[in-house]
Amino acid sequence: MATIEVGFLDFQKDFDKYMTQCQKSGDLIEIVTSSGDLNMYVVSTHGGCCEVLRNDGQRFVHFAEYFDALQDKSEVDQKIGEVFAKNLGNNSDLHLELRKDIRNHFNGTRVDQHNDFFHMVAGQLVDELELIADKNNGLVELIEDFTKPLSFIVTTHVIGLEFKDRDEQKKCRELAGEAIKLVALLAPEKEKITALKAFEEFSDFILPQLEKFRVDADQGLRTNCLLYDFGEKIRAGHEDKLENFICLVNGLFQAGLGATGNSLALCLNLLLEGNDDNSADDIRTYFMAPERTVEEKNEAVSEYIRVATAKLGNVFPRYSQHATAVEGEPIKPNSLVYMSLRKANMDDRAFSKPQLVNPERMKIPPDLSPEALKERRYNRIEKSLNFSYGEHMCPGRRLALVVIRYALEELLRRFPNMAVEDMNIVGEMFGTPTAVTSLTLRLDSA
């Protein structure tokens, strides 16, 4: 393994080429910039990304410390740093505790209690898709007509937010879509200002709703939502965490709208189109087989996401204040270390034939020795990094898998002969998060 230097503009222009090259060779990329003391690296191997996420010795942290270390920071950067310091953007004991609370809410039976609701919503939206297709020569735009409404309704329900009318719903979706751009650490100042304003406006919307759960537990409010859990914690003496809870709800709402919708669209495209290495018929046959269990389908969805998101381009940053190393390669102090999880998910050092869809990939071989099993688990062999892992693992993993499973089941059952007409993806390497902007389908269900 070695470190190769690439100019910032060259990397932006041909980032896929450089990351593919370094994923295969195992090299680390150092991006040469003119940003003074700030250093930038990109790691695209599975082992390297795991090392950063594992964070042994607290060497790599999230965004808050990056903003703390900025010299001559603007007022906007100061405020953005405060936002990340209040939500899940660092490794303090408080934030690790909050992450545990959220994972508990979004996992196991806490998610399964909403299954009937998820199934009902997916069915209703499929009914509406059919009506839209009837008026449009069989065509529908899945992002606008299905994935966005589904993500919005599900995320809203699990969190517990309420809206007085469709205009307020639309406004909050727009605010969340703008606020998520706060993760673009290197965006122009004007874009940061717009994203920060949207975040603050949506936080103002969340506050009175959380206050309702804080003031009184016995006023007929829902008890199976995240706002109820947070209200209980505040009543139990955690009043000082009120702003943290607001920032958490804000961030979770953004993630729920964006990540779930993108993953659903990409998975459906894979099941309908396949790719050069995988037959769409084979993928669908496995998923829709009558004998398939719920958990088998959930794991299949995770595998579809691993393969399908190879089409996306974003990288995810961590920050190192002090000199350290990734897979033995030195990292300078004050460095942003970007991980290409989609490239890591195609690393043949960690995955057997990574280009192939294998829904049973994570099953443990029965003849594995205890030592080999320990090594396999430590190195996360055959395990996708789409939901990250470790301290900052996505708390909504199970929620996303369940919702996408219901949606795929309903769409494939109702429209077995549907076909992709067109799909568009936009995004920037260090700017606007990559997103599927359109997926046009022909719903020929006959």
Enumerate domains of the chain plus CATH numbers: 3-442 (1.10.630.10)
Mean pLDDT within 50-70:
84
Question: Does position 285 have pLDDT exceeding 90, yes or no?
Answer: yes
Per-residue confidence band for 218, with pLDDT thresholds at 50, 70 and 90: low
d(CA 158, CA 67): 31
Report the pLDDT averaged over residues 102-129.
87
Residue 285 in 3-state DSSP?
helix
Q: Give the whole-angstrom CA distance, residue 15 versus residue 427.
A: 13
Say what the pLDDT of residue 91 is. Answer: 63
pLDDT at 58 over 90: no
pLDDT digits (tens, 9 = 90+) for 255-272: 888 888 899 999 999 999
Q: What's the confidence (pLDDT) of residue 153?
A: 92
For residues 184 and 193, give the distance between their C-alpha atoms in angstroms, rounded to a whole number: 12
Each residue's pLDDT tens digit, 124-151? 999 999 999 999 999 999 999 999 999 9
Say which residue, 49 or 397, is predicted with more confidence. 49
Listed as own residue / partner, the contacts of 390-395 with beta carbons closer than 8 Å and 24 or more positions apart are 390/53, 390/54, 390/55, 391/55, 391/91, 391/96, 391/99, 392/53, 392/62, 392/88, 392/99, 393/103, 394/255, 394/259, 395/99, 395/102, 395/103, 395/105, 395/106, 395/107, 395/252
Confidence category of residue 431, pLDDT binned at 50, 70, 90: low
Report the candidate in 403, 119, 105 with the shortest Cα–Cα distance to residue 232.
Answer: 105
Q: Which two tokens stand for residue 215?
A: 């003031």
Q: Which residue has the higher pLDDT, 308 or 216?
A: 308
What is the pLDDT at residue 75? 93
pLDDT of residue 445: 53
pLDDT tens per residue, range 364-373: 988 889 999 9
Please give the pLDDT value at position 435.
86
Question: Euclidean distance between the first and final Cα of the chain, in Å?
Answer: 55
- The residue that leads in pLDDT, 396 or 380, is 380
Best CA proximity match to 159, nearest among 79, 96, 251: 251
Return the percentage of the chain with pLDDT > 90, whole number: 59
CB 90 within 8 A of CB 65: yes
The mean pLDDT value for 277-304 works out to: 96
